[in-house]
Amino acid sequence: MVRRLRRLTGAHRVGHAGTLDPLATGVLPILFESATRLADFALRLPKTYVADIHFGFTTATDDAEGELQPVGDASALTERDVEEGLTAFRGRIMQEPPAFSAVKVEGERAYKLARRGAEPKPKAREVEVYEAKVLDFTSGPDPVARVQIRCGSGTYLRSIARDLGRQLGVGGYLGRLVRTAYGPLEIQSAVKLDALTNADDVRDVLQPAEVILPDMQPVRLNVEQEAMVRQGRAVRVLPEPGPGRLRAHDAGGRLIALGHTDPLRRTFVPEKVLS
């Protein structure tokens, strides 16, 4: 994605905000030029996924890429069983990343160790799941639950599928996975890569960088204030902003800088100034 869009547009800097698993599809934010410096803020946004979890089997990769290993008879599994099982995955939970993942184990990527036949054990880490619910359930000898998960950064849906199957005693792995939303960016307004054939196509669908900063209060700068902020100097803005992180815009509305309020001096203090 990044290579193709850099080639199409001639942009100096192009980046993405969060990878997808090889079998996954869905929303992938692409950042251009100075907006690439906002990737850290984008990664903090919640993501929403629709996933198919298959029961009765496990795989080494925790998804459909691996060879199926039968675990147990899942034919008696019901939608209520799955819904009740999902309650354990809501809120802040400790999660062990898949063996085939990019996390590092003793200084090396886990998937590289796994491909060499080792059995890496990535350390469990805390992730947050805001919502987990069943959308559809297909019963039978090979049951499948379609679930919707809204979660924070670093959450592995493959791990949820694996651990849910383990909890239900029948094994589980991840099938189809679609990222339907990335913060306020929804799949309905996403653009397919094959629809972008030249730089004008890309320009026509560009959105302002602040769409990935929905929780930051905006402040407006006049020309003199903008010049000071570009020098890294604090400025007094009216109306006075509240506490927390702020995003500053020039007189034309373009995003200029990110910063915070100094409550004592009652000023906007720039932290990151965009070119």
Q: What positions carry a catalytic annotation? A: 21
Fold of 216-273: 2.30.130
Fold of 47-182: Pseudouridine synthase (3.30.2350)
What pTM value is reported for the model?
Answer: 0.89
Residue ranges matching CATH 3.30.2350.10 in the chain: 47-182
Q: Which two tokens stand for residue 129?
A: 């799941």
40-70 residue pLDDT tens: 889 999 999 999 999 999 999 999 999 999 9
Q: Lowest-confidence range among 48-57, 77-86, 144-153, 263-272?
A: 263-272
**CATH 2.30.130.10 domain position(s) in the chain:** 216-273
Instruction: Tell me the per-residue pLDDT of 207-253, one tens digit each, with 9 for 90 and over.
Output: 999 999 988 999 999 999 999 999 999 999 888 888 888 999 999 99
Using alpha carbons, select from 202, 208, 216, 201 the residue that is nearest to residue 247. 216
What is the separation, in whole angstroms, between the first and last Cα of the chain?
24
The pLDDT assigned to 275 comes to 80
Q: What is the pLDDT of residue 3?
A: 93
pLDDT exceeds 90 at position 110 = no
DSSP state of 165: H
Q: Does residue 88 surpass a pLDDT of 80?
A: yes
Query: Over 80: is that where the pLDDT of 101 sits?
Result: no
Average pLDDT rounded to a whole number, residues 164-183: 96
Residue 271 CB-half CA count within 13 A: 11
